A and B are shown apart, each in its own frame.
Chain A
Amino acid sequence: MDTVQQISPALRRRARSGLRPFVVRALVYLLLTAGCVVTLVPFLWMLGTSLKSSTEIIRLPPTLIPEQPTLQSFRTIFEDPRVPLERFFLNSTAVSVSVVALVLFTSSLAGFVFAKYQFFGKDLLFTLILATMMIPFQVTMIPMYLILVRLHLTDSLWGLVVPGATSAFGIFLMKQFIEGIPAELIDAARIDGASEFGIYTRIVLPQMGPALATLGIFQFMGTWNDYLWPLIVITTTERRTLPIMLTWYNSQHGARHDLSMAAATLVILPILIVYFLFQRWIVQGITLTGFK
């Protein structure tokens, strides 16, 4: 056995294969599948509940699987004049896209300067940026709200975009990536007469694809899912974002589970699509950065 083990893993595996490894393997798969079931059941329950009719939803005992699946609840929330769904969707999209665009621009530009230029006080400034990452949002949210009051930006979508235009984490991440771009490339562009801003747009940005994608996806998901800040800033119904709208059917108008679950399904869907499309980058981004 000992010599077999040293020869090759494949041979060794064959030598070890017997009943016991097979049982262990089966157990592993069983456990992992059970875990998947636990993970998926709440989603299925959500979907099932959203597909129940308004009479089935109040039947006792409740049904496990909808007997006559219907899209009635989705139609109801789409047609409800008190809750302009497309408005909320538009609000969320506008806010998230603006924040992502601004963060990508400011982070890559500042990251570029920090990575490739020498100036007085650079290290101190960068340490300051890192230090602001340690301040929890809950500590600054009260004064931030007061600042927005002074700028007359409360109860407006701008109030959701303006404080989010820069990101300490984004600058940090971009600096790390841009440091990997060879200095020779930048010098060559300079010799060819490129302006400094031209170097940023034509040499640096094109190489930043994956980094920008990673930062963009995380920023998008963070802004799209944000709850506390819109809860504080926005008071008018028409200006709410999707996550705030979600709780509408849960709290104010008597819990309508079918409607609330239909709304939840609608909010989760775009995020899931983004997730499945960009899964590789999301997983890579997390392992690279530890960002949530």
Chain B
Amino acid sequence: MPALRARGRLLRSQHRFAAVSLTPIMLYMMGFTLLPMVWAVVITLFRYSPTREGVFLGLGGGNPFVGLRNYLDIFSSSINGQLFRLSLKNTFIFALLVLPLNLAITLPLAVLIETVHHRLKTVFRTIYFLPTVTSLVAVSLVWGVIYNPTFGLLNLALRAVGLKGMPWLSDPKTTVLGIPLPMICLIVTYVWQDMGYNLVIFIAGLQGIPEVFHEAARVDGANSWQRFWHITVPLLRSTLTFVIVMTMLSSWQVFVIFYVMTRGGPGNLTRTLVLHIYETAFRHQEMGLAATVAMALFAIIMLTTLLQMRLLRREWEY
């Protein structure tokens, strides 16, 4: 009996410890995630600006309840609707181009790095990863100077080989395959900055593939190209799924390089969703509307994740 009582006391003190340490942390955390999430949904139903007086929590009064009008607004032909759809389109173009470009560079690069000597492998990986650890703002500033029409490195190089320079980030007319030149420039910068991350993940994935598979294929007479497509790629599938989802998600949420390098210009050609949310909420102080756009972004992110998971899972079942 005393043993049982002691056991009970022990369990009680364990429970107390768990409750006492976890409760404040959980409450705190929910206060900064779930509460804002709910609040975000609530203010989408109001014409809300912190500059106007409200009745309760800033809502009501000068910030009237408008029902679903904010949601209708972003799909209407109003200026808000047009800006939203333009930002959506720009972000879409950006995300859809970044993904294949990134994969087309990082996967082969990872395979090549895997073939070199161990020492050199570390050196290459270190160098390729440098842009990724660098502050995004600094990266944006450096590339802004590189693209500068008068003093930039790019035009300096072009003029050196007898070509004409371009106003890379401010040219509203030039397009490549229908995509505005400033957008292309931002994509290049983004991929340059972001690829180290995927590269490291791919290298780790490649190291997880047992050498015997390659050996076996080599014995069967498969060349390196066949080995890449029929062994490396299928065995990397889970890594690939992960990389694709992460790359997509982070490119939907892109902000810093666009804010620093172009501010969405010229003529809103590089206005992205997050930039649009930021401008609407904190420059024009229309937070109800901005929160509505944020909900759209949330929906897109959720859909992307689900869709990619579903698509790639189906392929696994072969």
Contacts and interface: CB of A to CB of B under 8 A. Distances in A.
Contact of B148 (A134, A257, A267): A257
A143 B35 contact: yes
B40 A28 contact: no
Nearest to A64: B156
B18 A139 contact: no
A144 B260 contact: no
A243 interface: yes
Given A136-B297, A142-B40, A290-B246, A228 B255 contact: yes
B242 A290 contact: yes
Q: Using C-beta atoms within 8 Å of the partner chain, give the interface range for chain B.
A: 35 or more
Contacts of A200: 21
A116 to B, nearest CB: 9
A140 B36 contact: yes
Interface string B22-52: 1001101111111111011001000000100
Interface string A185-200: 0000010000111001
B231 interface: no
A178 to B, nearest CB: 13
Contact of B134 (A146, A168, A268): A268
Contact of B138 (A166, A168, A264, A290): A264
Interface string A132-165: 1011111111111111010000000000001101
A283 B129 CA distance: 9
Contact of B246 (A32, A138, A292): A292
Contacts of A142: 36, 40, 43, 277, 281, 287, 290-291, 294
Nearest to A196: B17
A267 B137 contact: yes
Interface stretch (A74-82, A93-101, A106-114): A106-114
Overall SS of chain A's interface: helix
B37 A135 contact: yes
B17 A250 contact: no
Contacts of A276: 126
Given A39-B128, A139-B294, A227-B256, 14 more contacts: A32-B116, A49-B145, A113-B22, A114-B22, A117-B15, A117-B18, A136-B298, A142-B43, A143-B43, A147-B31, A196-B14, A228-B255, A267-B138, A268-B138
24 contacts: A42-B146, A43-B142, A61-B156, A62-B150, A110-B26, A119-B18, A128-B30, A129-B29, A134-B302, A136-B249, A136-B253, A138-B255, A141-B294, A144-B32, A146-B50, A147-B32, A147-B35, A195-B17, A200-B21, A221-B133, A246-B138, A268-B138, A271-B134, A290-B201
Q: Top 7 nearest A-B pairs by Cβ distance?
A: A196-B17, A143-B39, A287-B204, A143-B36, A140-B36, A264-B138, A132-B33
Interface of A: 2, 5-6, 9, 28-29, 31-32, 35-36, 38-43, 45-46, 49, 57-58, 60-62, 64, 106, 109-110, 113-114, 117, 119, 125, 128-129, 132, 134-147, 149, 162-163, 165-166, 168, 190, 195-197, 200, 221, 224-225, 227-228, 231-232, 242-244, 246-247, 250, 255, 257, 260-261, 263-264, 267-268, 271-272, 274-276, 279, 282-283, 286-287, 290, 292
